[in-house]
Amino acid sequence: MEDPLWVSMMVWGTWLLVAIVIDGVLLPLKLLLARKSLKNLNNDITVEDDELPQISIVIPAHNEEERIHECLLSIINSEYPPEKMQVIAVDDGSEDGTRSQIKKASVDAIMKGVRIQLIEKIHTGKVHSLNTGLRKATGEIIFTVDADVILEKTALKNMVKVFLADPDVGAASGYIEVRWDPLKVRFREKFFSRCEFLEYLNSFNFERNYQSWIDSLYTMSGAFSAFRREVMGSVGGYWPVTVAEDMHVTMMLHKKKINVINVPDAIGYVSAITDYDTLYSQRSRWARGQLEVAAISGKSYYEENRTSFRDILSIIRDSRDPKLIKLIFSYLWNLLRDSFKELKGKTWRYFDLMGLMRILFVDHTIAFPRLLWVFVLILLPFMGLYIEVIPVVMLLMYVFYILVDLIVTVFTYNYSSGKTRQKIEEAIPFIVLMPIYRIMIFCFRVSAFLQSLNEPADWKVEGPINGIKNGANNMKENVAKSVEAMILGLSGTYFSRKRGK
């Protein structure tokens, strides 16, 4: 017997309510906290050039021939005094014309009074390249900038102002904004570029602003960040333990109670990724790094230094002394006492309800149930179940997520510069496609979770389309080799028989 319509609506209404609770309930609080963060950002002070500190800018590069020249030009043409800039370009064993482009930019730099220091090394990866540059850095504030980032003229000065205004700030993350090529007019290219722009506007602008206010910023932008020199030294630079070195160093700074903030008007531009496989590779690396860092950073001081309950039971079993049973009660008492100490006086950073803990819960803990529901929804109509209700609920959910993105976009529009506002106005029609884009990115992340279980970490991950193409090419090669081997075998048999006769 089919359920009455009101029962179906109750069932699916509850399912819709879950989405609203996860992604909608906290939105008003996020907006309030983001507004507070923007209102209290201490970068509106006036600083004369002679008051600005010496800075060092480290740019790691591997096969960045096409982009590093423009990156270096944006640095040397910035509004920061050239005599107070140390620019360090670390070539990580590039096999293209990266070194030539750095030397070409060095000529332009000399005309501006800036010297670019080129360090050449064998290819050992981004982390080792960053640390090589850090060891040569002499500035009070050290910047790390990816070779494909184009800095706004005011970006360096706006970042430094925050450090000057607040001595408690130990590290800061810039705002990464997506730019697109106006000559790329195909729908696929426009879809990827505009949706990426809106996604970055949400993540690198809005999300990091409210996380900055509650001291829960869990990932500084690896593409554009800054540190006090002594702060970077206190954590030993970057560690080669994960593919997400920017997230790992952020978590290390938090463990040392160092204040990490977001600076939304320190802007760096990156080109939009309009290639499906490249986007898949990037998001898979991010998702895998998030899991790795969460595993590394998950234990508190008390957990790391606490004897496990299994060890207590092993001691009692091996000693065969009934009196040692009291160790169990002692263990439980110490567990409660340590837990109370951890809770006492904790701030937003440690509860982290809207930082890493929530991200891990939404993206990882409930990822597979959400993916399962996608397949269930497809199957239910074929089973004759909820045929009238499913389209209504799906439409309501689609509209709900459009509204969430629209509210965040309008909010960020009010606090954005003129250039960013123009791009928002151009990208806003694509907001109706954002739920589709986010579902695609969600599938990328789930794939990365599965991939991390049985494959070693790598900076570049093969995308599905390239995987299919390469698989087809390998199959062709294998078939060709098999046919060749069969022909040679038959030929050998034929001639051997002929000689025998």
Q: Give the number of other CB atoms < 10 A from CB of residue 361.
A: 13
The pLDDT-based confidence of 241 (bands split at 50, 70, 90) is confident
Average pLDDT over residues 481-495: 57
pLDDT of residue 271: 92
C-alpha Rg value of the chain to the nearest Å: 28
Asked if residue 86 lies in contact with residue 53, where contact means CB atoms within 8 angstroms, the answer is no
> Which of 251-255, 290-294, 316-320, 484-488 has maximum average pLDDT?
251-255
Q: What is the mean pLDDT of the chain?
A: 79
pLDDT of residue 321: 63
Average pLDDT over residues 129-154: 94
- Rounded Cα–Cα distance for residues 72 and 58 (Å): 11
Percent of the chain exceeding pLDDT 70 equals 68
The answer, yes or no, to whether residue 298 has pLDDT greater than 70, is no
In order of 12, 370, 374, the CA distances from 394 in angstroms are: 10, 14, 11
Main-chain phi, psi angles of 170, to 5 degrees: -100, -25
- Rounded Cα–Cα distance for residues 249 and 380 (Å): 46
- Rounded Cα–Cα distance for residues 431 and 417 (Å): 20
Q: What is the pLDDT of residues 34-92, one digit of tens each?
A: 888 888 776 667 888 888 999 999 999 999 999 999 999 999 999 999 999 999 999 99
Residue of 130, 196, 204 lying closest to 173 (CA atoms)? 204
Residue of 115, 124, 109 lying closest to 56 (CA atoms)? 115
Residue found under tokens 């959400």: 370
Percent of the chain exceeding pLDDT 90 equals 36
Asked if residue 102 lies in contact with residue 94, where contact means CB atoms within 8 angstroms, the answer is no
The answer, yes or no, to whether residue 305 has pLDDT greater than 80, is no
Average pLDDT over residues 185-214: 89
Residue 308 DSSP one-character state: P
The answer, yes or no, to whether residue 1 has pLDDT greater than 50, is no
**Least-confidence region, from 17-26, 129-138, 288-297, 344-353:** 344-353
Q: Can you tell me whether residue 52 is helix, strand or coil?
A: coil
The pLDDT-based confidence of 318 (bands split at 50, 70, 90) is low
Residue found under tokens 């006036």: 46
The pLDDT-based confidence of 144 (bands split at 50, 70, 90) is very high
Q: Give the number of other CB atoms < 10 A from CB of residue 120.
A: 13
Residue of 160, 146, 150 lying closest to 224 (CA atoms)? 146
Q: Give the number of other CB atoms < 10 A from CB of residue 64.
A: 23
| Pair of tokens at residue 145 | 């900038």
- Rounded Cα–Cα distance for residues 12 and 318 (Å): 55
Helix axes 27-39, 389-414, angle to 10 degrees: 10
pTM: 0.77
Q: What is the pLDDT of residues 391-431, one digit of tens each?
A: 777 788 888 889 999 999 999 999 888 889 999 999 999 99
The answer, yes or no, to whether residue 444 has pLDDT greater than 80, is yes
Longest dimension (CA), the chain: 101
pLDDT of residue 367: 56
Q: How many H helices and E strands in the chain?
A: 21, 8
Average pLDDT over residues 19-27: 74
Q: Give the number of other CB atoms < 10 A from CB of residue 479.
A: 10
Residue 168 DSSP one-character state: T
